[in-house]
Chain A
């Protein structure tokens, strides 16, 4: 065991901290789910990009710093501790990019990575459909072969930031026979990259629990997509998608820094709430401890991954833990705040926003029930129903 942090890493952390201290906007940016807020968040991403902090793990030729997972974790801790804005480009840089680096052609990398990193092109995820949620492989939106490319028809839904995004990465059924009885539904899917202003695309905003149009449904009506916007092989969309899912549940979607920062703020809230109920205090301490446990678990996973170990279905454990933790952090905060916690225009309203957002954690990126099935079947080896 060796938990000493070497000087080069400390120096990296200090560099990040210094830049954030000088650059994080003093006032929170307007909500990401408004046109103004979206633009303000794009500007922030460009500033990060220009300073070399937008995509620190990426290769230098795409504006990254090629840092390893440990330095990334330190970056994230500093980022959230500094109270920096949420990342408008997160679908692209955290979910799509890992799949791109695995299977994209050189031309695709040249075309897409820098605009993704600068948030010149913000990406939305187009997987879920009205009839395909947990059972994603039931999806029916289809892609038909045409000269030079594909024609897309169908509907996607719950696409986060779809209202204001520029591009979408989506799964479509390119082989309709794969839905027939006796064939594998996971085959016959293809992964597409497409601009949301293409002819035949209709984006309809959907207001989320907080009343803001945080996601969208997207309709496809004979949308042409050229061959060079297929990611990976035709018919292999499922496995490309699963490489995204591994990173989504695993390390990159929710770094510990985020929960550590919230848990620290929660303890501050306890300290300035003298009449706090013992039960809420107790839950706050639990949340802080679990944020610390999450940090250690992810550190251990990162170290094992860096040592060459394959990280598999255990990433489901990760997703279960952080999503439950996030709800408990915010739930404790709202209980400490009492009726004032439900006011929407106060300085403490960030707890309410955070609470509403935390409630989505057990739903998106594969519901927690699905994650438990995955753990039970693939890690514990229990039989399928």
Chain B
């Protein structure tokens, strides 16, 4: 038995929908951006432990180690194998003479552990060919694509067999890989460890990470502790390194604050719209609620009516809002937009809209408890 005013009913649904849209959308973009910071870790699933200089604060914060550290790590009890990984920025010179900084990943020459997750064309094993590199798909079509004769003319995507110049060294493209987008969106170039260190500017230390596999039956944290004790290096599991990286970005960039403000605003807008429409809705209907009460409707009957109505609004509104957000997610799947919606986000959105609904419901119930049926005889 809904006492209805269609306009207000839709205004309330709209308010909840807008709120849940903003909350879902903003937190998904936030999570999307944050997961980009750890995209590289996602793409390197094989090792159990990532070993690095203890002062490293996040995955792109490279503090090179001496090559001898690799042997030390291999000697730690419980380590099945350990391979070197180079990760660093190297300038590529494009055919038209402009430069583009690339994120070069150097994989262990023998095993190629840490290679690209999905190949679009070519094979990872072709990295064993002379001067070979694999570039990521987005860069091949974008930042590393060959420019046309004029700035306006379309670029030609990089393909197998094309040449690149990395820090004055010749490189041949032998494959195109699909990688998880990273935060800096720099082109990713895979090659072998020895070649990467040859491309890289001369430095005393070049070993960025040591990727280690733990022997079956050994405890990860125990082995990590041993590595730290014997080599002075830090060893993290992939989730730990992701956590470290995300915490670093949270603490040191304005990203969380900006998104926090957007999400908070969304919530306030929702509370304001829904609260305000619901308030006037209840006030308008006070007379009818009073009549029902005079005719014998107990408080719990009136409560049920109000709760049914608010929760219908809450459910419809958050459904519509999250629906639009998911639609954006589908549409933006192949775009630059960072949008990632893990299951926690809808849950949080539902909690937020439930909270709004609850607040307005409690407010309405409070009005109903104080309702004097005597108002029914007043003009």
Q: Do A and B bind each other?
A: no
